[in-house]
Amino acid sequence: MLNSDRFITTRQLAESLGVSESSVKRWVDDGSLEAHRTSGGHRRIPLAQAARFLRRHRWSTFRPDQLPFAASPALGPVDDLAAEHLFDALSKDDPETARAIISGRFLSGADVATIGDLLIRPAMARIGELWKHDPQGVLVEHRAVDTCIAALHELIPWLDPAPELAPTAVTAAGPADPYMLPPLLASLTLRERGFKVHNLGPLTPLSSMTLAITRYQPTLLSLSVSTDTSLPRASEWEAMAKSSRQAQCEIVVGGRCVGAFPFGSLRIPVNRCGSMLELGAFASGLSRSKDARKPLDPPRKGRK
């Protein structure tokens, strides 16, 4: 059963926070905390809703081991020590500890972009070098990627849902880019900024990105390029350029090989982002600018 399918009682949440059960019931009744009622009238709180509540309020007395998380979150800051602990867990193929570190930092208030840039990225960079001197390096890297993907998917139900009129974004890795983590991190970063996101994943042909722009009419397309071979030829951009102009879609390119991207030879404006934090900041600014350009409702006429 996924975290998003689980429900907890008001008593469970109260015990994990060190507060009275009546306080939790009051939060439910005043709408601060979403819950469902059983046929007998008992309040049942979705675990995902509890996670959102905990992250929003950052409860200092919170005991995550009292709740049925898939891996009990390890609360704490995102710093060099946390990145070291994540590297140790991933290199030892200890998925439970790795997931606990990632989920715990998220519940402690770190956003997805910070977790991606300052926690997962440095740990995976070290993992990616193991094959040079360790015959188990490739095995360790593949398991580490799978663990990080599982941990990030666990965060999705904990993100606030996008508003009904939220802007749309598409994320993808280039045509010859097999890496799954960058577009997934980009998709969660944009979700956290209030976007509705369609993640196309790795190895995405430009023709598929063009179709996605036509279908979803996104405000933003985020493309990750992590290998030299994933860099598209300028001629391949023509159809995408036409679709992006028609959809008024901004294109953002990032990734390990972004420095080799042919920005100067393209006939459409393409934005460069060097990190998930930069992508998040760009998306937030883009969303605000779109909101500012929305036509205002006409003033209501008063009675004569």
Of 102-116, 151-165, 240-254, the least confident: 240-254
pLDDT of residue 241: 79
Q: Give CA torsion, residues 15, 21, 26, 29, to 10 deg.
A: 90
* The pLDDT of residue 304: 41
The reported pTM is 0.88
CATH number for the segment(s) 80-158: 1.10.1240
Q: Give the mean model confidence (pLDDT) for residues 92-100.
A: 97
Predicted confidence (pLDDT) per residue in 64-87, tens digit: 999 999 889 999 999 999 999 999
Q: What pLDDT is recorded for position 22? A: 96
Boundaries of CATH 1.10.1660.10 in the chain?
3-57
What is the rounded distance in angstroms from the CA atom of residue 121 to the CA atom of residue 114?
10
- Mean pLDDT along residues 94-113: 97
For CATH 1.10.1240, the residue range(s) in the chain are 80-158
Residue 238, helix vs strand vs coil: helix
Residue that wins the pLDDT comparison between 98 and 288? 98
pLDDT in tens, 222-274: 999 888 765 666 667 777 878 888 899 999 999 888 877 766 666 677 899 99
C-beta separation of 221 from 213 below 8 A: yes
Domain 3-57: assigned CATH number: 1.10.1660.10
Architecture in CATH for domain 168-292: 3-Layer(aba) Sandwich (3.40)
